[in-house]
Amino acid sequence: MHFNPYGGSGAQVAAALATLVLSEHPTADDVLRTCRDHGMALTRPTGGEAARILVWGRKLRAVFAADPGERVDLVNELLATAAFRPHISGHDGKPPHLHYAAEHAGTVERMQAHSAGGLAHLVCEAPDRFGVCAREGCGIAFVDTSRNGRRRFCSTRCGTRVNVADHRARKIGA
């Protein structure tokens, strides 16, 4: 059995929303696509709901950008806001899985509960396995599911750019 101890889809959607807030004028469709891309079965949020989710995304971003020692307090604030009660659900032919919000909860509340729950797992189980890309100008939030757990960049591409630039700078300085 494969078990992802790094916050699962809740942490992944949190990272995606923490990155989406950097976009210029994200829309309700962008919010919906981001959530659905990470396994959330949501209906299209209204403009007001999308705005609330983007405000939440900025709070999620603060967690990704914080030092590991500061993350517990930030996630506890998110959990207090989300105020959820986890339960096991089985629907749409899916095997039993954990839901963090009631079936009748609204779009914003469901997204808040799911992302806060995922980050809570991540902070408890692997507090140093997430962050914001270290490449200047990138800013993508990520969850590190690599084997060695030492990622500093959102992707190989960003890491390569930094390493090549460092190599060129050393070569010029030599």
Confidence of residue 56 (pLDDT cuts 50, 70, 90): very high
What pLDDT, on a 0 to 100 scale, did the predictor assign at position 51? 97
Fold adopted by 8-131: Jann2411-like fold (1.10.3300)
What pLDDT, on a 0 to 100 scale, did the predictor assign at position 168? 80
Task: Count other C-beta atoms under 10 Å from residue 25's C-beta.
Answer: 5
What pLDDT, on a 0 to 100 scale, did the predictor assign at position 3? 43
Q: What span, in angstroms and rounded, lies between the C-alpha atoms of 30 and 115?
A: 17
What pLDDT, on a 0 to 100 scale, did the predictor assign at position 160? 84
What pLDDT, on a 0 to 100 scale, did the predictor assign at position 81? 92
What pLDDT, on a 0 to 100 scale, did the predictor assign at position 174? 60
Mean pLDDT, residues 14-40 taken together: 94
Q: What span, in angstroms and rounded, lies between the C-alpha atoms of 130 and 141?
A: 8
Place of tokens 């517990």: 72
Percent with pLDDT over 90 in the chain:
52
Q: What is the pLDDT of residues 98-150, one digit of tens each?
A: 777 777 788 999 899 999 999 999 999 888 899 999 999 999 999 998 888 88
Quick one: which of 89, 45, 105 has its CA closest to 17?
45
Domain ranges across the chain:
8-131
Q: What is the pLDDT of residues 78-91, one digit of tens each?
A: 999 987 777 787 77
What pLDDT, on a 0 to 100 scale, did the predictor assign at position 173? 67
Query: Of 30 and 2, which is predicted with more confidence?
Result: 30
**pLDDT at residue 92 is higher than 80:** no
What pLDDT, on a 0 to 100 scale, did the predictor assign at position 62? 98
The pTM assigned to this predicted structure is 0.85
Q: What span, in angstroms and rounded, lies between the C-alpha atoms of 134 and 140?
A: 9
What pLDDT, on a 0 to 100 scale, did the predictor assign at position 42? 84
Quick one: which of 132, 136, 98, 106 has its CA closest to 21?
132
